[in-house]
Every structure is written in C-alpha cells, then in structure tokens.
Amino acid sequence: MEDLRGRVVVITGAGGIGSETALAFAREGCHVALCDIREQRLEEAREKLGKYAPEALTMVADVSDGSQMRRFVDAAAGRWGRLDLLVNNAAYGMHRPFIKVGADEMQAQLQTNYMGAVHATKAALEHMLPAESGHVVNVVSVVAKLPVPNSGNYAATKAALDSLTLTLRAELAEHGIEVTAVYPTATRNTNFFTTSGSNAEQTRARRFMKEPSEVAAAIVKAARSRKPELHVGLQSRALPVLRALLPSGVRLALERVARVYR
C-alpha cells in the first residue's frame, strides 16, 4: 500500500462522493484540486476540507467542456508542479422510463457522465505522459454490469466509461500510468436521487445504499493499492454474477423493479 503524502489529486464533481473523496485524500496528506459546475457545492466542500487542506484548489468548471477541463487540470498541475492522480467522479442520474426521456436529455447526460471523463483524462495525460507516471481512477457503477430499469441512459454512460477504463488500462500500461475502475452501488445522501427525480432513497431500498464516505474510502484504497478494479460492497460483486448465472430470475426481478421504482 503506497504512501500518498504529497501527491497531487484532481477530482471532478464536488457533490457527496466528490467532497468526501477530497476530504479523504486531504487526510492522507495530499494536495487536492476539486471542480464542480456549482459554486455552492465548492463552498460546502471548502468548509468540509477545513484544516486538512487549507490550500486546496477549487474551481467552477463544466466537465462537458474540454477547454474548461484543460484549464482546471493545468491550474492544479501548475500550482504544485505535478499531477499524480485523477478521479473522474462527476456524473448525474436521470430516473425516468426511456419513453419519457428526450434524446437531447440523453445527449446532455452522455456529455457529462462519459465525455466529462474523456475531457479530464485527456487533459491529465498531457502531464502524466511526459512524467511516465500517474493514476486515473474512474468512478463507474454496478449498473455498468447490471443496468437498472428507468435509468437506462445513466447505465449506458457508465457502461461506456467501464469499457473505456478497460482499454485505457491496456494502452497506458507501457507509459507507467495505471487505470482503476471503482464500482459503487447506490449511494445515499448525495445529489443523485434529487437530480434523477427518484424517491428511491425514501423507500426500503435506502437500507442497501452506501454512504458517500464509504465510496470515498474505496477510492483512496484504490489509489494506495493501485488495483485495477475495486468493488464497494457485496452487491457490486454479487449482482453481475447473478445476471450471468440466473438470467431468467434477474429479468423477472428487473421487470418488477421497473413497475415499482418509476
């Protein structure tokens, strides 16, 4: 397990998981840079970081805009003279049946959830490749392996990120850059269910959700261990296996979920 002290960590998205991840890395002695499209989230994150990272860099930036991502990443690398770790976390949900979601809404979600990671990674690689060192951690989701009804487009964006992670890991190995996928399950106390318009967090399903701090701890563990994959909780390991072994049962269960959690 690597000592992370002094490492420069760039994180996209300052919501529940993002701010907790920044705090977890700050406690490890890292230099932390955090971006978000909303200034209020950044203010809340700065308060949370407090004494652990008073020099933290925060910037309002839209991950779907490549030029904004480059400016953010360059600012972090410029402040500390290096870039060691990128955490692609920024994403949002949209919990509605496919027939009720417009194509423009789907495109916008793709631009944030998938292209946001593309833009940030390309910007980070401009610093990591010359150094022949670095680590990219992509926050994927268990739905990349087992999609959830009424969140099909969100699952598709995460499946795309999952595929990109696998190919990047192979392509960048020769350059000394490692790539990790972290697979959380549903996480409570974030903006996900608010932005997706779902009341799932107010149902019995809440019992099976993780806290943002648990996901953040897994991301830090991934950075320290440099494992290619890290699953958060038993569900993220078990559900894809169930899909492979019991396809009929999973199909029936998903049909019920589609009716109940609209």
Q: Which two tokens stand for residue 240?
A: 């894809």
Q: Which of 52, 92, 114, 154 is catalytic?
A: 154
Contact 198, 93 (CB under 8 A): yes
Cβ atoms 48, 152 nearer than 8 A: no
Describe the strand order of the beta sheet including 134-139 as a list of residue ranges.
57-60, 31-36, 8-12, 85-88, 134-139, 177-183, 229-231
- Cα 67 to Cα 54, 70, 73, 103: the distances in Å are 27, 5, 10, 25
261 catalytic residue (yes or no):
no
Question: 118: Cβ–Cβ under 8 A, 6 or more apart, which residues?
Answer: 164
**CA 212, chain centre distance (Å):** 11
Residues 6+ away with beta carbon under 8 Å from 194: none
- The Cα–Cα gap between 239 and 208 comes to 13
Burial-class residue 3 by CB neighbours within 10 Å (0-12, 13-18, 19+).
exposed
Show which residues are catalytic: 154
